[in-house]
Structure formats: C-alpha cells, structure tokens
A and B are shown apart, each in its own frame.
Chain A
Amino acid sequence: MVDYTKPLPVIEKWNAPYWQAAKRHEFVGQRCRTCGYVHLPPGPVCTNCLSDDQEWIQLSGKGTINSYGVYHQQWHPGFTDDIPYNVALIELAEGPLIISQVIGCENDALACGLAVAVTFDDVTPEITLPKFRLLGPSGTMSAGR
C-alpha cells in the first residue's frame, strides 16, 4: 500500500464514536435525548438546547448536494494528484450539513440539489472517511469507478 499522505482526522473524546463507526462502515450522528436535535460535528452538548444528555444514532446516509467547489489549486501535497477535486457541502436527510467529497463521478456531473448517499473510503487501516456517491434517478447508487 502506498503511504497515505493526506491529512487524517484528529480523533478526540467527542468525535471518537463517529470515526469508530465509520471504520465499521456505519454512518452516525449525535441526537439530543432532551430535545431530539440531530447534529454533527460531534460536541459535548446539544447545540440546540445545551443538554449534555446525548446519544449516537444511525443516520440514513442519504442527503443532497447543497453546494460544492472544485479545487484547482494545490494547498497540500497529498492532494496534488487529485486536482481538480471536489469538496461538497452535503445536506443530510436528518438535517446536519457536513463537508465531504462526492466520489465515483466526474466533477462535471455534480450539481446543487442532486441526491447522494454515503459510501466509505478506507484510507488507512485505522481510518475510514465517509464520502458520498450520486444516486441515480431511481434512488439507486450510480455505477462509478
């Protein structure tokens, strides 16, 4: 395996369950047991009501592309071979917005509002990054690489 040269997530107390789930190819979010608010990125309290009584729930992994940008400029040597690569703001079905990438398609195929579903990129033996693929018109995963 070629050395992985991109930045890796910094795992700490509050986000560890998120990354542990991703490694199992599960996509999870925090839900407040007090008010029901679902939120990411993880934090010590609910950003809606400040309750610290929170649980981890499985998310559907479905969402839409709220917007996206395509990087033509290299700011990190680990991404040199990926240019041009996309970074997308995904609006998850359960509400949270997260920054990720849409893979398995050309950048030209992206558009705001398109449906996507989570997919898992095992970038190192320890780390799996949740990313997204376009869903076909029938709601099925598109072919891709």
Chain B
Amino acid sequence: MGLHDLRDQVCIVGVGDTQQGSVPDKTGDELAIEAARAALQDCGLTKDDIDGLFVQPSYGHQGSYLNVGLMLGLNPRVGGAVEASGATGCYLIQHAALLLYAGMAHYVLLVYGTNQKTNRNRFGGALLEEHAPYGAFNPSLPFALAFRRHMHLYGTTEEQLATVAITQRAHAAMNPKAALRAPITLDDYMSARYIVAPLRLFDYCFITDGGHAFVLTTAERARDLRKPPVYLRGLGRQEAFRAYETPDLMMQSFQQQRAASMIFPMAEVRPKDIQALYVQDAYSPAIIAALENYGFCPVGEAGRWIQGGRIALGGELPVNVNGGQLSETYMVGWQNTCDAVRQLRGDCSSRQIPNVELLMCTYTGGLREHAGALILRR
C-alpha cells in the first residue's frame, strides 16, 4: 500500500463561503457555521450525515474545535483542530482524505471562520519571541528576507515582483466575491509605500472577515451527491522546523521541492500538465517561491518568467485567478481551494478557465515551517 492508492479516491463534494470583506455583525465562529451550512447545502447532505469535523483556529480564540462542534450540534466519530498556521487548510483536507480512505469517516466537514478585519488584527507580533527586541514584527519578514535574497542572487527586481499584485488584481476585477476589484498599474504599485522593504503595500494580503467550509467524501459516495465531485489527485507536504538553521530553507526550497517530489509522482502528472496554480499568497513572494520550487520554472527565473501575461488568465499558467489573498480575500488558502473546486465545476463565468481538468493549490505556513499542496481534478 502506498500513497498512490489514494489517488482519485477522495473528493471535495461541497464548498461553502460567506460574505467576505467586512462582516461586523458576526463572530468568527458564526461565520464558520454559516459557511458549514452553505457547504452542506451545496452537496445536499444534512448535518447528521457528518461523521468527521475538523476546525482551523482563527484570530481571537475563534475556531475552537469544542465550541464549533457545540454550536453545530454534531456528534462526529472523528475530529479535532490542527494548528499549522497558513498550511492548516491544506493539512485538514489531507487528513480528511486519509480518514475517509481508511473508512474511519464517511463524510468530513472542514470549517474556518474569522472576524479578523472587524477586530483589527494587525498581525503585529514577532514570529518568535526572541525576535521582538529587534523590531522583527509581522509574518511578512521571512518573505521580505527571501525576496531580497532572490534579488541578490538572481537579479530579480521590484518591478518584476509587481506583476504578481497587478495580475491578481486584474483577476479580482472579474470576481464579484473579491474584496479589492479596482485595477492597479505598475505606477500605482511602485508609488505605494514600503511596509517591510523590499515589499510594498500591494505585496500584502488584504485582511478580511469571512468563513469557508468543505465537505469531503469517498469517490464512491460522491456519485450520489448534488454537484460533480472534484477528485483529490495528489497530495504534497513537507515540514521544516530547522528553517532558521539553514539558509536554503529560508527560500522554502527544501520544503517545497520535497512536497513536489511527493505530489507529482502520486498524481502521475507533471507541472506542465497543471492548467492553473493557486498559491496561498499571504505576501506576493510566495508566488515566486512556489513557481520555482514546485518546478513550474527554473530556480532563480521566476521574476522574468511571470512577465508578459504568463500568469494571467489566458496565459501559460494562470495563477490565483480569483485574485488570491492580495485581492480576493484572506482566508489562509481556503478561498483558493474553494475557487479551484468552482473552476473544475465550470461555475466561474467570465473567469472560467476553458476545458479545465487539472488544478493545483499550494500552501505555506509559519516562518518557513509548513509546505502543503493539493492537485485537484474534475
């Protein structure tokens, strides 16, 4: 028995989301539950069908497994919370897949909700306690360090990085769900203030309130449900708690390349087979790292490679066709996988990728510790 046995055996059958942006009248848990109801409705299951529940904790003590379970009134066979920062959403899908494949659960519900915008979460803490005396606040620091290093090693420029934010905003302009839809130009990007240089305002995710949920089941059970199933074709993952001991790990090369070496053989596809990529982009350099380390372009080349419309809708490899976290909504990657499911169902109207069959989502969490990926197929 190997990982390849899991290929195409588990499906995402329900997706749910709430209003995104500013939702001042709801707590994070209320948004999580609203999304859960929407996901159940999407696939036609009732809450009593659910025998697995997993929750991603969120800002301000929201997303406790106990509280969410109580509020939903569930008696699931299995469940829990997973804490792996920005990769949690990916890991929950992977854990659900393993439980479903092993028969320990038949229908798994995954939920996340946050009211981080309404509550003005500024993400102002230091990532590690010993960094605070040096003023090393906000999770953007490792991305700023990695991009500066990329500029040094490969001659990548800030103007090249601008393409990420500009392209994703153009995608968001076509997406009614997106929080930020006004197009931006290179001038807008370059004249925006630095936050942690070399990163500017538009390189940062836009903090939003909202909830997302998924329902997963086995391929066999998925056939009886309301919407076409989206199959988990491949899973990739690598942890790296020694990132701060090893310069290469700062660039995410070890963790993402290892995740790549797991996911592509499992899925029996190559990077060039992927029709669009979703990157959990808390900060725009996440796209540079993912493109290089998952093998979409050579290491060091991403700054040049993303130019000329290559990552735009209609290009060779559209990236974050929903607008990503820079422009759609900051739901720690849940919004990307939600959009990937809708693309594979053909539900994305003017943003629809033609004849789409194979998509990939990558997630990053923590300083550099967590890397996860999913390949989804129709």
Contact = CB atoms under 8 A, between A and B. Distances in A.
Nearest to A100: B134
B73 interface: no
A73 B130 contact: no
Given A72-B197, A87-B141, A96 B247 contact: no
B244 to A, nearest CB: 6
A72 B247 contact: no
Contacts of A67: 145-146, 148-149, 152, 250
Nearest to A10: B129
Given A47-B245, A70-B196, A9 B135 contact: no
Contacts of A8: 133
A69 interface: yes
Interface in A34-93: 39, 41, 47, 66-73, 75-76, 79, 82, 84-85, 87, 89, 91
A39 B135 CA distance: 22
A99 interface: yes
A7 B145 contact: no
A142 interface: no
Interface in A1-31: 6-10, 15
B95 interface: no
Interface in B117-153: 122, 124, 126, 128-138, 140-141, 144-146, 148-149, 152-153
B151 to A, nearest CB: 8
Nearest to A68: B148
Interface centre among A7, A96, A101, A129 (most CB of B within 10 A): A7
A105 interface: no
A99 B137 contact: no
Given A66-B149, A67-B145, A67-B146, A72 B194 contact: yes
Interface residues of B, number: 36
A76 B148 contact: no
B310 interface: no
A97 B131 CA distance: 12
Nearest to A79: B135
B247 A66 contact: yes
Given A87-B141, A89-B250, A71 B135 contact: yes
Given A39-B245, A70-B196, A97-B247, A7 B132 contact: yes
Contact of A101 (B135, B194, B245): B135
B135 A82 contact: yes
B193 A113 contact: no
Closest A-B pairs by Cβ, 10 of them:
A112-B152, A69-B144, A75-B124, A75-B137, A7-B132, A70-B197, A67-B145, A67-B149, A72-B194, A69-B196
14 contacts: A7-B126, A15-B130, A68-B145, A68-B148, A69-B140, A69-B141, A72-B193, A75-B137, A82-B135, A99-B128, A99-B131, A112-B152, A112-B153, A129-B134
Interface of A: 6-10, 15, 39, 41, 47, 66-73, 75-76, 79, 82, 84-85, 87, 89, 91, 95-97, 99-101, 111-113, 123, 127, 129, 131
